Chain A
Amino acid sequence: MMATAMQVSPDTSLAPVLARHRLVVCVGTGGVGKTTVAAAIALGVARRGRRAMVLTIDPARALGRTLGIDLTTGHVIPVERGVLGAAMLDQKREWDAFVARHAPSDAAARMLLGNPFYQRLSTSFAGSTEYMAIEEMCRLAESGDHDLVVLDTPPSAHAIDFLRAPERIDRLLDEPHQLVGAMARFVVRQLERAAGSETLRDLATFYRAISALVGGVRERTRHARAVLRGGDAAFVLVTGPRASILDDTRALADALRAQAAPLSAVVVNRTHPRLPSAHGEIAHPWLHARWEEAVAEAAAEAAILDPFLASLPDGIARVLVPEAHHDLHSLADLDAVATHLGI
């Protein structure tokens, strides 16, 4: 699959990427419109007659309004020819279901679900949202109900944490072997002095409870790693035409390469048109100021965006989505984004 990807010439459409993959992972820094792009991909694909599903992480209320649904409960919207599904990842619920699937007995599951450390892990351990998003994406794809699953990754300063999430979960599971011995008892005593004894008792219970799940969980993390790096998933980097965002994006593209994750496309969201500096007289001072701003902005944008796009390796689609005239409010607005994406 990768060999084919390398041979196609740089494209300005996402269509070839979407034709080759069943999983699409949208990554990027916060505030660039990742959720919008993810939803537009799924909508565009659904309009072509496929069964598409978008999984978001954010509460994404605006997206729910745009689609006319409540994302927290998850919905399927029949669109012309195809089907668009949309759901928000409920991290806590998915972790609880994951534990129930892999626990050897109900008692083992209950012991873990009631533990304060498990509750913390399932809501805010670094990498736990990311891992559950991957797990849920794989599960949706394996269900056979969808032709394409699009994942909107969590907002994160370090989107690459996403790829490392399965390893982080693995590492956490390694810890129980270290709980025995004099040093461990000493460490526990010292931590108790700082944090109080209850906290430490909870931690010990957590490791006892989770050790029963280790085998099953490891199999899933291995699977998740294989899906992310084996070419089943296409990574789409979403960015914006600002210098600091493009710097982060470049670092992210390098990190993806270092992790052997196949970057398929870069989407630059909310670009502005290139403008001629010559124009007829604009007498109105407010309008004149806006025009001057737009011309300066277009020039500055071209100066940072062109070298960035040129620096991307061959075989990666480069897609520009122009800024709309207003906030997105309807399916038609999202269709317009899909059209710019070339779907």
Chain B
Amino acid sequence: MLHFITGKGGVGKSTIAAAFALAAAARGARVLAIELGDPAGLCRALRARPASPGAIERVAGGVHVAYFDGAAAVAEYLTRKVHLGRFARPILDHPLYNAFVAAAPGLRELVAIGKVRDEFILQRRWEVVVVDAGASGHALEHLRMPAAAAKTFSSGRVHREASVNAELLRDPSLVAIHVVATAEEMPLGEAAQTIETLRTLDLAIGRVIVNRCVPPAPPDVDDALARVDDVVVADVLYRARSWEQIQERGIAALQARLGLAAVRVPRLPIMEMNAQARALAWPIAELAA
């Protein structure tokens, strides 16, 4: 299975992606975790420092980790698949090439997705591939690109490959695109919008994952709260109750808007990213199949 993970900035999507990878590896699957972009999120959560874009490093927990950089992926693509041979270096160093890569409509995103597909389908080495696709905008830019590029590039090799990638991203038997949020208005709103966009694009949608949830409060909580005398304690507990109500209202509204059930992931104490990811591997386990 090929899992993509996205969501608003700061909701913990890299930690969730790392937990996906660790959970699948703990089940015995051969797992590759890929960060789309600079190695700042998923790589950090898995304590990996791959030597270069595309290099694969094995880390604790049996997960293999890599990060894909769009520009490097384009250079690799042109060298390997367009067979530039001994002209590769002068071409890749040419300012015109760099301008082309910087400005060509969606080329970097397209090739990065193509490289994910290569790892997943062609290598036959991985049973589970988990991709930290970055914040919603960044992820959608990548996920919509194969279909868009099949139209933009009217001819040539890119057109053919774009069509193949677009087809993969629509196949729910192979791909699941998950959206992570926290139980607050803005992250939930952005998650709902992302899912709606994915639906418009007809892509393979996975789950909406709500991170850092507290358990729902029992009905007698407000009576008990009214009996707390200590002002410091009361302030803390009123705030906790208020955010729990925001959580419950927000999740209910999201589920009604999208017509699907959200997955809750429990709130953990503040700790370092890798410890968080390992602690979350068990609540995530059933999603990472």
Binding site for B on A (CB under 8 A): 29-32, 61-62, 116-117, 120-121, 124-126, 155, 157-158, 172, 174-175, 178-179, 183-184, 186-188, 190-200, 203, 206-207, 240-245, 248, 273, 275-276, 279-280, 282-284, 286-287, 289-291, 293-294, 296-297, 300-301, 304, 323, 325-327
Contacts and interface: CB of A to CB of B under 8 A. Distances in A.
Given A116-B105, A172-B102, A187-B97, A196 B87 contact: no
Nearest to B97: A187
Interface string B15-33: 0000000000000000000
Given A31-B10, A196-B156, A301 B270 contact: yes
B232 A276 contact: yes
A265 B68 CA distance: 35
B99 A172 contact: yes
B184 interface: yes
A106 B267 CA distance: 58
A73 to B, nearest CB: 20
Interface in B208-245: 214-215, 217-218, 220-221, 224-225, 228-230, 232-233, 235-243
Given A175-B99, A179-B96, A30 B10 contact: yes
Nearest to A280: B230
B273 A243 contact: yes
B109 to A, nearest CB: 9
22 contacts: A29-B9, A61-B189, A117-B104, A155-B135, A155-B137, A175-B96, A178-B94, A178-B95, A178-B96, A191-B97, A193-B157, A194-B158, A196-B153, A196-B158, A197-B155, A243-B273, A284-B220, A286-B215, A286-B221, A289-B215, A297-B270, A323-B239
Nearest to B141: A124
Contact of A184 (B9, B94, B271): B94
Given A284-B224, A286-B221, A287-B225, A293 B267 contact: yes
Given A282-B228, A293-B214, 8 more contacts: A157-B135, A179-B96, A190-B87, A196-B154, A203-B104, A207-B99, A287-B221, A304-B270
A247 to B, nearest CB: 8
Interface residues of B, number: 74
A183 B89 CA distance: 12
B117 interface: no
A203 B100 contact: yes
Nearest to B134: A157
Contacts of A286: 215, 217-218, 221, 224
B185 A62 contact: yes
B279 interface: no
Contact of B156 (A195, A240, A291): A195
Nearest to A62: B186
Given A30-B8, A117-B103, A327-B246, A287 B84 contact: no
B159 interface: yes
